Chains A and B, each alone.
Chain A
Amino acid sequence: MSGYKAGSNLEKVLKSGQFAFTGECGPPQGANVEHLREKAGHLKGCVDAVNVTDNQTAVVRMSSWAASLILLQEGLEPNFQMVCRDRNRLAIQSDILGVYSLGVRNMLCLSGDHQSFGNHPDAKNVFDIDSMQLIHTVKTMRDDGKFLNGQDVDVPPKLFIGAASNPFAEPFDFRVYRLAKKIAAGADFIQTQCIYNMDRFREFMKRAVDMGLHEKCYILAGVTPMKSVGMALYMAKQVPGMDVPDSLIQRLRGAGKGKVAEEGIRYALEQIEEFKEMEGVAGVHLMAIEWEHRVPEIAERAGVLPRPVV
């Protein structure tokens, strides 16, 4: 493991300089392990790691650490997501130790959607620390072997630290600085919000490259294929911080009945082709939301198969 921070498959792929390809899998709203295994099964061999979401959009689901372990049993590498909404610093640190002890090697640090979005809007939120401080906490535990209170960690958790970046949220000019801040706090890799506005993303990446951020951290571009015009309109109007250009909506509308999903996939494939060549982009994070069974086809057509064995 010499030279690696955590030695995860994702870290090895990225460090080898090969174009990374990660996927995503939302745990079930229940204990439906079979469904989770089935969804994860589609991703096997197609991606380098699978993000396991943590009560995504503040909807209660099987815990991300438990679902991560099930993925491990299935022979997939999880990228364990953790949000600050539901845990204080005690729970955060103990869960970090827990997942590492059971074999998790990647962790994505997030603030988390506000609970008012989800199915328990009456909940009290925590936000004891924020995503920036979470990144720093994992790094301090890993590299300095210290808890947040300065005490020693008895066997530090060696995790490959991920963070999210939304190049499209406002204020736009500050976004690249916030990315820099996350990298300085300890992020080893970044997965961006779903990209649809390519002009704006090109501008964002140019600024990131000008600041040399791509040399300090691996940046994976977020891609979510549009399944329908309705989904595109929902993303455009209802999801805060999402930037869906009208031109894309028109393109999907023009695809004709029964062909919108294929057009959505084509757009995603064009994006992936551009990302492969874009300076500073180290890979793609494919968030095929409840569309895991289409991932093998998308990966195949994107020319990212077979996945490297490092």
Chain B
Amino acid sequence: MIVAQPKPIKEVLEMVKDFKKILVVGCKGCVTVCNVGGAKEVGILAAAIRIARKRSGQDIEVDEHTLERQCDPEYVDELAETIHEYDAVISIACGVGPQFLSERYPAVRIFPGVNTQFMGGAEAHGIWSERCAGCGTCVVHYFGGLCPIARCSKSLLNGPCGGSSHGKCEISKDVECIWDTIVRKMTEQGRLEELIEFKPPKSWTTARDGGPRRMMREELVK
């Protein structure tokens, strides 16, 4: 899933300080799963804004709405009847959401209420970590099913570097050295030989480096 975290409330209040009627829009996709942008969080953010504004003597009207998904035009359309009633809209979907809203409703001021972090998963309740860098050409099978592009601080394809220490990365004791894990796993699987093979430079044409990406599947295009 796409993992996000809330923007500091001070930052959100600053964004909407000049507005008197706003809409907070959530998304039932990834951000609901990682407890940051679903209907519950829409309610919490809306309440926080109302309370803060009331305290500062600048009342505000805050409405709430949560879409099935903000990354799909058919759901974004749901707001067509009502969105123009608002001075501003805060989207608490991932970074895709505010852009789909901005594109569909060009006259409306759209603000992001969360900071999108990464593609990853939940290690445990309340703990998420990155797994995929979206490079466009998956290579995890060469590395024991683990991705050094997303998970090595230097994206080394021929690791580990000299900074690996006690299974941790040189940048922080809180960061796993994925190459340490890759070596151990490949050794256990009796596949060390494969790691000794030279991995040539990767083509980044399919990654973001190749420019903004677009994908078309002819069989699905109506």
Where the two chains meet, the residues of A that have a C-beta atom closer than 8 Å to any C-beta of B are 84-85, 89, 111-114, 116-117, 125, 127-133, 136-137, 148, 164-166, 169-171, 173-174, 177-178, 180-181, 184-185, 193, 240-241
Contacts and interface: CB of A to CB of B under 8 A. Distances in A.
Contacts of A173: 187
Interface residues of B, number: 32
Contact of B200 (A84, A136, A184): A136
Contacts of A180: 196
A130 B198 contact: no
14 contacts: A113-B170, A130-B155, A131-B161, A132-B157, A132-B198, A133-B200, A136-B198, A170-B164, A171-B180, A171-B184, A177-B195, A180-B196, A181-B196, A240-B163
B154 A114 contact: yes
A280 B155 CA distance: 32
A114 B162 contact: no
Given A111-B156, A127-B156, A130-B157, A170 B170 contact: no
A130 B192 CA distance: 20
Contacts, number: 100
Interface string B148-176: 00000111111111111111101110000
B204 interface: yes
Contact of B156 (A130, A166, A174, A184): A130
A151 to B, nearest CB: 15
Given A170-B180, A171-B160, A111 B198 contact: no
A172 B199 CA distance: 21
B57 interface: no
B211 interface: no
A109 to B, nearest CB: 12
Contacts of B177: 170
B163 A113 contact: yes
A20 B168 CA distance: 34
B203 to A, nearest CB: 10
Nearest to A182: B158
A193 B157 CA distance: 21
B213 to A, nearest CB: 18
B158 A193 contact: no
Given A171-B180, A185-B158, A240-B168, 14 more contacts: A113-B163, A114-B153, A114-B154, A114-B163, A127-B154, A130-B156, A132-B199, A148-B201, A170-B177, A171-B183, A174-B192, A178-B160, A181-B158, A193-B162
